[in-house]
Amino acid sequence: MKYIFIVFASLLLPFITIAQQNALRVSYIEEFGSNDSGGFTNWKTDLTILDSKSSLYRIDIKSANQKRIDASDFGEAKGFTPSNSSYNSYYKKNNNIFYKWYITGKKFYIKDQPNFEWKILPETKDILGYTCQKAVTTFRGRNYEAYFAIIDGATGGPWKFNGLPGVILEIESIDGEFKILSYGINTITLNNTVVNPYEDENFITWEKYKDLYNQKYIETENTFKDGQQVMNMKKMQRERLVD
């Protein structure tokens, strides 16, 4: 009986091995907003790079707080870790990004194809023990400085950022409104295949989302009650939405 079990286990092992996948996971702190713009919020996030063509970026929305932080304050055993995490995800496949976002509380599922034109500079800095090289780009209304590292041949970046020959460990807008800082890097084993969490949804393009946002912006721009504007929609969020 023992011999039969060993034979069965040895036959099953290749299938278990095939189902498992090693992936690179980078932990970040993402911060958006500033004191000048009326406040800021930061979140704990992570990027799982599955292969050269796909990755999953997750924003832990229940970790949001308004305390100014720096990634050097964090480590794998530190930081704000909620007891019941709830994620907003950005799934990247080839040149497409799938995610959900809102307009005045209404949910939309978006398929975006962002294009980044990077300029790689000779300047370097150390981040988490990796020598990182500087790169700059302009994307939808903001100028950015990024630092990326060569890590096990992986490529990718947090949020929508992509297109550099390495992994983006730090990126910040020049205006100080948006920054993402890494505080941990690990190789993990995935026991299940990671798929697009929104694959059964109906998607609109980024351009369509922007058009819908503009329509709602115009509708609410001159809406007042008792002398107060009912809704104040911003022209610029992470990306410019109203030209």
Q: What is the pLDDT of residues 165-188, one digit of tens each?
A: 999 999 999 999 999 999 999 999
Within 8 A by CB and 6+ apart from 152, the residues are 24, 187
Interval 189-211: pLDDT, tens: 988 888 899 999 999 999 999 99
Interval 16-67: pLDDT, tens: 444 578 999 999 999 998 655 556 789 999 999 999 899 999 999 888 876 6
Please give the CATH topology (third level) of the domain spanning 22-201. outer membrane lipoprotein receptor (LolB), chain A (2.50.20)
**If we measure between CA atoms, which residue out of 48, 43, 46, 47 comes closest to residue 80?**
43
Indicate the domain borders of the chain: 22-201
Q: What is the pLDDT of residue 189?
A: 93
29 backbone dihedrals φ, ψ, rounded to 5°: -115, 125
Residue 2 pLDDT level (bands cut at 50, 70, 90): very low
The residue type at 150: I
For the chain, give the mean pLDDT: 84
Give bridge partners of residue 205 from the DSSP assignment: 111
Residue 232 pLDDT level (bands cut at 50, 70, 90): confident
Within 8 A by CB and 6+ apart from 104, the residues are 216, 220, 231, 233
Are 49 and 24 in contact by the 8 Å Cβ rule? The answer is yes
Percent of the chain, pLDDT > 70? 78
pTM of the model: 0.83
